Amino acid sequence: MISTVLVANRGEIACRVFRTCRELGISTVAVYSDADAGALHVREADAAVRLPGAAPSETYLRGDLVVKAALAAGADAVHPGYGFLSENADFARAVTDAGLVWIGPPPEAIEAMASKTRAKELLGIAPLADVTEADLPVLVKAAAGGGGRGMRIVRELAALPEELKAASAEAASAFGDGEVFVEPYVENGRHVEVQVLADTHGTVWALGTRDCSLQRRHQKVIEEAPAPGLPDELRASLRDTAVRAAEAVGYVGAGTVEFLVADGRAHFLEMNTRLQVEHPVTEEVYGVDLVALQLAVAQGEALPPEPPAPSGHAIEARLYAEDPARGWAPQTGVLHRFEVPREGRVRVDTGYVSGDEVGIHYDAMLAKVVVHAPTRAEAVRKLAHALERTRIHGPATNRELLVASLRHPEYAAAERLDTGFYERNLTALTVAPEGAEYAAVAAALAEASANRARFGGGWRNLRSQDETRAYGDTEIRYRPTRDGGYEVTLPEGVRVVSAGPDRVRLEVGGVVRDVDVTAYEDGTVHAGPHRLTPRPRFPDPADQREPGSLLAPMPGTVVRLADGLAVGDRVAAGQPLLWLEAMKMEHRVTAPASGTLTALHAAPGRQVEVGALLAVVQTEATEEDPV
């Protein structure tokens, strides 16, 4: 029997496994990098072992250090979580060679499915070779790893060589393996997967389907089970293929077989030899604990011949610290307040609590918010409501996008669930949320009330000029009134019922609403569910940059420069100059205009903060441009 488990992972992943271990009476061991010394998963574990350094390559990807940590802490088993070393066959062997129980599939099964090219060969699927114009568009993919890394869509044949090179470089950096392959790109297909679970006695479960089509940058955002609207014949085909893939490699433990569904047909993508981030939706529908079943299988226990019957519908939303309107740029900073309402059995899997800091080194996901309901429509409504009432004070997040996505007609009716959802709808989904203008009014009046309480002041016999406050593109104008209140002159139609430093009551169109307001030292203001950034009344001269300055849009690490890039080069508007890696995502930084590169302050390996000067492109006036 397993008595102590080390989880070779961090954050939400480790916290999720620890929760099941506690319920089963199993002790837990965490490993942590220097950047994670105060992280929630470290605080929740019974014991913790430091892995010196901050970069994943120095810490969580060092299998030798993780095995030593397990032995030092007295663990008798290792759970890999998902990500990092979870699909590393050599790490699995090192664990078992050290006399520890490996809570995962056999190393041989991991190796067989680790390469997408070899996995396809097992199922009789050949990759695309000798690409021609007739084959376009195509998808370049990394043979190892996943999460959208090393993946490129190619629509023009001339662009293929450069995209192959870029995908290979990214794959080598992310997975230590630069092998890539090319396959037909299925435009706007559905990403559907099947959860499998197998024991050492020959039983293989297929626990239904999941739809993970809502993705950004090839990474999942909203997932649900079961996948809606699939014909019974197609469901059976997906299930049979998934079981066949598991049986072909002698699979043991939890795994996922992924497909792209288009035109009523399923195209095999890959098999992930680990638990998936989105496993909670399957747990909710089938009433099982997949981590507990992983532990049971690792101890040699047999699964029942058939899985439990499914019930109802479950949906999961990934809450990220990122700005969807700015290229999904990851965000960092202190999470001053983080509260998700749990009424109605809302499940929250997270590695953060209020007061924690979101750093630059790892994935930007704050939490997975999961609901279960008898029907899909009820689950959609329930999850949107829970997210809408969630309070997140700190970095910008995708919370508003998630709410808008769930309520979008295409998603709510399950009419066009495909991977092109955000490409079609992102602009409409990232407009200022309803009520943002009135939240800005509340923020301005709360600040005025705080200043009044601190410094005194109020109504004067001579009519004062309007006070002005701006938040982003929203401008607010107001003035004190004789009775100690405020009159709002912009926007029109707002009556102030009462105003204090922490709460403002407004009446708009006959409807009265209370808005709680909190301001933080980092300059952000949160009014109800809205995050506002005040616009400075007087810009700081130190913030001014010379024209053509190219600033880091996010904190991250410079991973590479464009080939041969040097000061003095002529560059074209939109030309890629360098690539930043931030929180598991690679971001291309392009020339802001055509001109000459007059300064280059970026070099591979350099870590930069948001707003750091990367390069300067001096534009040249044309005959049409005024001098």
354-397 per-position pLDDT tens digit: 999 999 889 899 999 999 999 999 999 999 999 999 999 999 99
Residue 574's CATH number: 2.40.50.100
Q: What is the C-alpha separation between 33 and 199, in angstroms, rounded? A: 33
Looking at the fold, whether 329 and 419 belong to one and the same domain comes out as yes
Looking at the fold, whether 89 and 213 belong to one and the same domain comes out as no
Looking at the fold, whether 567 and 454 belong to one and the same domain comes out as no
Average pLDDT, the chain: 92
Listed residue (335, 338, 317) closest to 391, CA to CA = 338
Looking at the fold, whether 210 and 313 belong to one and the same domain comes out as yes
Q: In this structure, how many other beta carbons lie within 10 angstroms of the beta carbon of residue 134?
A: 6
Maximum C-alpha span of the chain? 88
3-59 per-position pLDDT tens digit: 999 999 999 999 999 999 999 999 999 999 999 999 999 999 999 999 999 989 899
**351 with 10: CB under 8 angstroms?**
yes
Whether 625 is in a domain gets the answer: no
Whether 554 is in a domain gets the answer: yes
Q: What is the C-alpha separation between 541 and 555, in angstroms, rounded? A: 22
- Range with the poorest average pLDDT among 394-398, 406-410, 465-469, 617-621: 617-621
Tokens of 580: 């930043």
- Secondary structure element (H or E) that encloses residue 401, with its range: helix 399-407
Q: Can you name the residues that pair with 220 across neighbouring β-strands?
A: 215
Looking at the fold, whether 280 and 339 belong to one and the same domain comes out as yes
Domain limit, last residue, from 472, 494, 528: 528
Write out the DSSP string of 512-554.
Answer: EEEEEEEE-TTS-EEETTEEE-BPPSS--GGG---TTEEE-SS
Q: pLDDT grade, residue 218 (50/70/90)?
A: confident
Listed residue (398, 487, 476) closest to 439, CA to CA = 476
Whether 626 is in a domain gets the answer: no
In the chain, the number of structural domains is: 5
Q: How far is C-alpha 499 from the geometric centre of its chain's CA atoms? A: 37
Pairing of strands 4-7, 77-79: parallel
Residue 205's CATH number: 3.30.470.20
This prediction has a pTM of: 0.89
Write out the DSSP string of 187-207.
Answer: TT-EEEEEEEEE-TTS-EEEE
Give the catalytic positions in this structure.
Answer: 274
Q: pLDDT grade, residue 519 (50/70/90)?
A: very high
Looking at the fold, whether 326 and 377 belong to one and the same domain comes out as yes
pLDDT value, residue 585: 72
Q: What is the C-alpha separation between 170 and 401, in angstroms, rounded? A: 28
3-state SS assignment for residue 352: coil
Q: What is the C-alpha separation between 207 and 191, in angstroms, rounded? A: 16
Asked if the model's pLDDT at residue 622 lies above 50, the reply is: no
Q: What is the C-alpha separation between 204 and 240, in angstroms, rounded? A: 11
Q: In sequence order, which ranges of 52-99 are alpha helices (DSSP H)?
A: 63-73, 89-97
Q: What is the C-alpha separation between 422 and 398, in angstroms, rounded? A: 13
pLDDT value, residue 374: 98
Residues in Cβ contact with 106 at an 8 Å cutoff, skipping those fewer than 6 apart? 92, 250, 251, 252
Whether 533 is in a domain gets the answer: no
Tokens of 561: 């420069």
Domain limit, last residue, from 396, 429, 462: 429
Q: What is the C-alpha separation between 332 and 352, in angstroms, rounded? A: 13
Domain limit, last residue, from 51, 71, 103: 103
Whether 239 is in a domain gets the answer: yes
Residue 48's CATH number: 3.40.50.20
Domain that holds residue 173: 113-184
Phi and psi (nearest 5°) for 166?
A: -65, -45
Looking at the fold, whether 38 and 127 belong to one and the same domain comes out as no
Q: Can you name the residues that pair with 557 across neighbouring β-strands?
A: 581, 607
Q: pLDDT grade, residue 176 (50/70/90)?
A: confident
